[in-house]
A and B are shown apart, each in its own frame.
Chain A
Amino acid sequence: MRAARWPVLVWVVLITGAFWFTATRLSVHSELGDLLPEGTTATQRLLLNQVRSGLAGRLMLLAIEGAQPDELARLSKALGDGLRGNAQIDFVGNGMQGLSPEERQVLFHSRYLLSPTVRAETFSIDSLHAALEQRLDDLRSPLAPMIKEYIPTDPTGEFIGILRSWSGWEAPAKHLGVWMSADRHRALMVVETRSAGFDADAQGAIQQDIQASFQRVLTESSLSARLLMSGPGVFAVEIQRTIEREVWWLSTTAATMVFLFLYASYRSLTLVLLSLIPLSSGILAGLVAVHSWFGFVHGITLGFGITLLGVVDDYPIHLFSHLTQKDSAQATMRAIWPTMRLGVLTTAIGFASLLLAGFPALAQLGLFALAGLGTAAVVTRWVLPVCVPAGFVPREIQSDLIGMMAQLSKAKVVVPVAVVLATIVLIWSDTPLWEEDLATISPVSEEKKQLDRQLRGELGAPDVRDLVVVEAATQEDLLQLSETMMPKLDRLQEAGVLAGYDLVSRYVPSRRVQRQRQQALPEPALLEDRLRDAVKGLPFAPGLFSPFIAGIETARSQPLVDRGSFHGTSLSLKIETLMMEHDGRWLAVAPLRGVVDRKGLKATVAGWGEAAVAYVDLKEESNRLMIEYRDRTVQLLGWGAVIIVVALGIGLKSLPQLWRVLVPIVAGLIVVTGIVNLSGESLSLFHVATLLLVIGLGFDYALFFNRAEDHPEERRRTVFGLLVCSATTILVFGLLAFSKIPVLHAIGLTAACGSFCCLLFAGILTEQDPHAA
């Protein structure tokens, strides 16, 4: 007896250590980006990079509504001014933003390198004459006070030309200087956050800041209005909040229900508390293992992992159900251990396939579940029995379970009928078996998505999904290649295939083009001669254009512009999002607006015959990525199944036994899949992962049902234990099935139905104990 206590001591020491580690060291991340894989192809890596930190993810759309247009304009200006001082915000657009004097200076100084209209013809006598006539028009126009200072230095209008070519998109209409919707019910703004859209914590803080600024502005102006926010960051925060809220109330309710149910079943508080020991040990072990291996634990791993570990709650229940006055807890444990061990082993093989899938999110989950499962099994075997008070026996079960089992086993036909029905559903259903569209599992409400589409349309902001990607070995190659793409994209825009695009070569010309422009600039003497002819008949003051001649002379030998020339300006930020170094290659990413026919566009871009230029539909790519991982997981599961069958065959040493254990589980999986499909859902990665739990539960049930027991009393205890196990599982997951979050609902429905089907089928197909009659 004394000797058996040492495992408890070891356990106390380890669990204290794990608890301390968890409390002090554990870092729980919530950034979804951390769970994304690296990607196997260059396109996938780029896509994931964009998803993690790209501009589209960092763009937040704001709208102020609920006041008069003039008031909305005032609020927009005040809010914009307030937000521009926020260190977490890179850029605020509300129509008021212009180039700063320093930025204008950079552009003006390099106008002959940057302007797309600089060619040799620009400086012919005829062109100069036409340009000068236009400057006379400018002087006569109401805008003259703003333009006239540029006339002596830039009579060909290159600076204005640069500004015009840079306004790549049709900005929304303005009212009192700020962007407003066409009906003037909403003032529109865009905000570029510094942190990634997936970083829900940082995004949440920024959104709070924005709301606080808005409230301040409202108070100062004593107006009343509403602020609407949308965009990936807003969605991320909403998703996180919804999940946290739902998980909290669901898990609280579920825990309470399980607690009450266990108490009702065994009428012993001690027992209920003891049943928590394996599960809590398993959770701690899982946390320590995941943190040691990955360096952090993701919030999703935590939530979903504990769900998967629900299977270990069955282990203490088996022990308690088999406790009798005759034997000590240790002896009882030793008796049921071979069966339990086989169940643990087969479940572990299933979980291992998650570990190998190569998807960080699933790998964390797999490791967590494996470590937790092993620990819980060990704790149940060697620690729990010692903790059970001597002579402790749960109340006697009075119901005629054995009789019920006998009745049940007469209904063997139920199993094939259910399987056939499920198969028919799966074959002829209109609902596809596999979910191919990630969007349907997004918990963001349709209303919010609608608002996002509306604001995006009104603002003309790029969709998150369409990109043209250009790739090259060097910056210069990249810019040259991008330059050749511009006329092609322009043609697509004219043809209405897309509404607009933004490409880095619009802002930074290649060195080759800049040199061509420099060579197109005439020598001072020549320019002076031509200008003298060009100005004939026009009333310009003599000598007015000497700054122009000097400017051209400077430009002929001035250093070329590159990305660095814009350092420290808002243009630099823009250029960084459009062009980047990745894996030693240079990439230009051109966001597209208003793409209608994606297939057509893909074919068109492919038809250009440039291997280094591709159209990427981010949505399609991310779906494909998910599908790839799902297929790989399913494939691994298949191999896992083979290994499980072999392990079971060795463990059970009997083919008929193996058959009786396997059939209920296979039948259960088919029927669950049928039920999920019948309820109008297609299988996603989350369903697949939950099916693993079902397999684990199923083995547990089937092995215990088919355990060789020589006493009807013993058998009754087994059946009662299994009923309690299954009932707790159905309680917890049945509750999850009512969640409004698609992922939680999927897990809940699958696991609850799975537990029920596996128990039912295993019960029906089990070989009745000869003593039972």
Chain B
Amino acid sequence: MSFGTIRISWLLPLCVLLLAGTVAGAAVESSPSHGDQSSNVWTVEQVVASLKEGREPSVSFEEATYSSLLTEPLMVRGVLRFTPPSTLEKEVLEPYRERYVIEGDRVTFESERKRVKKTISLEDYPALRSFVEAFRASFMGDAAQLKKVYETAVEGTSRQWTLLLRPHDQAGKAVVDYILFSGSEGHIGTIAIHAPDGDRSVMTIRRGPVK
């Protein structure tokens, strides 16, 4: 897989954070040593490295969309799943049912309410690519690539850290102003994506078993 050939690699961090979400539980349990180093500052390398350590088959999420078009945020709840070797799935359970299954460059979209099922290429939908990139990053743990595409800034301690990503290139900046991860230890708590027009979406990853 020639990862470097993908033009809009700015989405990598987004994936990273999603990925982090999916592996968070496992990471915490499998690397208890982090807990002992509570005073250490976390780095991008550490966040990415933690992704490689283990995978949780699924986590639940809650995503809030804030837009200037709306008077109140829109909420979506669902499950993120990872099936080895390479399938990532985002399933929306509430308030309607919808499923995105991503395998390599192919995305299968299924909506009960719209009665559609179709397969598309990720390349045509840059907004979706974040999921795939996250998924790929989990294999590669490539912090260097992440830094190449984004301006990164980590703040805080391992107990309470934030990772700020700003795309370097114009194409990335057109869709994303910045992405902010926040988390504690090996666990990512929220992922906020801020668009240049001020709209944003905030995804909260919940640990614990998925029903």
Interface residues of A (CB under 8 A from B): 68, 70-71, 73-74, 95, 134, 136-137, 139-146, 148, 151-152, 173-178, 539-542, 544
**In the complex, what distance in Å separates the CA atom of A68 from the CA atom of B127?**
25
For chain B, residues 98 to 118, give those with C-beta under 8 angstroms from any C-beta of chain A.
Answer: 98, 100, 104-106, 113-114
B96 within 8 A of A: yes
Q: Which residues of B contact A540 (CB under 8 A)?
A: 69-71
Is there an interface contact between B127 and A142, defined as CB atoms closer than 8 Å? yes
Q: Whole-angstrom distance from the CB of A69 to the nearest CB of chain B?
A: 8
Q: Whole-angstrom distance from the CB of B72 to the nearest CB of chain A?
A: 4
Q: Which residue of the partner chain B has the closest CB to A173?
A: B119
Q: Which residues of B contact A142 (CB under 8 A)?
A: 90, 100, 125, 127-128, 131
Is there an interface contact between A144 and B71, defined as CB atoms closer than 8 Å? no
Q: Which residues of B contact A137 (CB under 8 A)?
A: 96, 113-114
For chain B, residues 178 to 211, give those with C-beta under 8 angstroms from any C-beta of chain A.
Answer: 195, 199, 201
B36 within 8 A of A: no
Q: Which residues of A contact B125 (CB under 8 A)?
A: 142-143, 146
**In the complex, what distance in Å separates the CA atom of A141 from the CA atom of B68?**
16
Q: Which residues of A contact B105 (CB under 8 A)?
A: 73, 174-177
Q: Which residue of the partner chain A has the closest CB to B113?
A: A137
Q: Which residues of A contact B65 (CB under 8 A)?
A: 139-140, 144
Which of B69, B96, B114, B124 is in CB contact (< 8 Å) with A541?
A: B69
**In the complex, what distance in Å separates the CA atom of A174 from the CA atom of B104?**
11
Interface residues of B (CB under 8 A from A): 1-2, 5-6, 63, 65, 67-72, 74, 76, 90, 92, 96, 98, 100, 104-106, 113-114, 119-125, 127-128, 131, 175, 195, 199, 201
Tell me the interface secondary structure of chain B in the complex: mixed
Q: Whole-angstrom distance from the CB of B5 to the nearest CB of chain A?
A: 6
Known: A148-B69, A541-B68. A176 touches B74 (CB 8 A): no
**In the complex, what distance in Å separates the CA atom of A68 from the CA atom of B65?**
39
Is there an interface contact between A136 and B5, defined as CB atoms closer than 8 Å? no
Q: Which residues of A contact B92 (CB under 8 A)?
A: 140
Known: A146-B127, A175-B105, A176-B121. A139 touches B96 (CB 8 A): no
Which of A71, A151, A176, A178 has the most B CB atoms < 10 Å from its CB? A176
Q: Which residues of A contact B175 (CB under 8 A)?
A: 145
* Additional A-B contact list (19), CB under 8 Å, known A139-B74, A174-B106: A68-B2, A74-B5, A95-B121, A134-B114, A139-B65, A140-B65, A140-B92, A143-B128, A144-B127, A148-B67, A148-B69, A152-B69, A173-B121, A176-B123, A177-B124, A178-B123, A539-B71, A539-B72, A544-B69
Is there an interface contact between A139 and B113, defined as CB atoms closer than 8 Å? no
Q: Which residues of B contact A174 (CB under 8 A)?
A: 105-106, 120-121, 123-124
**In the complex, what distance in Å separates the CA atom of A178 from the CA atom of B7?**
14
Which of B2, B113, B195 is in CB contact (< 8 Å) with A70?
A: B2
Q: Which residues of B contact A145 (CB under 8 A)?
A: 127, 175, 195
Is there an interface contact between A177 and B123, defined as CB atoms closer than 8 Å? yes
Give 12 A-B contacts (CB < 8 Å), ordered by A residue. A70-B1, A73-B123, A134-B114, A140-B92, A146-B125, A173-B106, A173-B119, A175-B121, A176-B6, A176-B123, A539-B72, A541-B69
Q: Which residues of A contact B63 (CB under 8 A)?
A: 140
Known: A70-B1, A139-B69. A539 touches B74 (CB 8 A): yes
Is there an interface contact between A151 and B121, defined as CB atoms closer than 8 Å? no
Is there an interface contact between B120 and A175, defined as CB atoms closer than 8 Å? no
**In the complex, what distance in Å separates the CA atom of A178 from the CA atom of B72?**
39
Known: A74-B5, A173-B106. A139 touches B124 (CB 8 A): no
**In the complex, what distance in Å separates the CA atom of A650 from the CA atom of B12?**
96
**In the complex, what distance in Å separates the CA atom of A544 from the CA atom of B131?**
31
Which of B5, B6, B98 is in CB contact (< 8 Å) with A141?
A: B98
Q: Which residue of the partner chain A has the closest CB to B116?
A: A164
Which of B71, B100, B131 has the most A CB atoms < 10 Å from its CB? B71
Q: Which residues of B contact A146 (CB under 8 A)?
A: 125, 127
Known: A148-B199, A540-B69. A140 touches B124 (CB 8 A): no
**In the complex, what distance in Å separates the CA atom of A408 from the CA atom of B145?**
93
Q: Whole-angstrom distance from the CB of A675 to the nearest CB of chain B?
A: 58
Is there an interface contact between B121 and A136, defined as CB atoms closer than 8 Å? no
Q: Which residues of B contact A176 (CB under 8 A)?
A: 6, 105, 121-123
Is there an interface contact between B195 and A175, defined as CB atoms closer than 8 Å? no
Q: Which residues of B contact A177 (CB under 8 A)?
A: 105, 121-124
Q: Which residues of A contact B131 (CB under 8 A)?
A: 142
Q: Which residues of A contact B114 (CB under 8 A)?
A: 134, 137
Q: Which residues of B contact A134 (CB under 8 A)?
A: 114
Q: Which residues of B contact A141 (CB under 8 A)?
A: 98
Q: Whole-angstrom distance from the CB of B73 to the nearest CB of chain A?
A: 8
Q: Whole-angstrom distance from the CB of B48 to the nearest CB of chain A?
A: 22
**In the complex, what distance in Å separates the CA atom of A174 from the CA atom of B106?**
7
Q: Which residues of B contact A539 (CB under 8 A)?
A: 70-72, 74
**In the complex, what distance in Å separates the CA atom of A140 from the CA atom of B201?**
9
Known: A70-B2, A176-B121. A541 touches B74 (CB 8 A): no
Q: Whole-angstrom distance from the CB of A130 to the nearest CB of chain B?
A: 11
Which of B69, B76, B98, B106 is in CB contact (< 8 Å) with A151?
A: B69
**In the complex, what distance in Å separates the CA atom of A178 from the CA atom of B106?**
11
Q: 8 smallest A-B Cβ distances: which pairs?
A: A177-B123, A174-B121, A539-B72, A539-B71, A539-B70, A176-B105, A142-B128, A140-B74
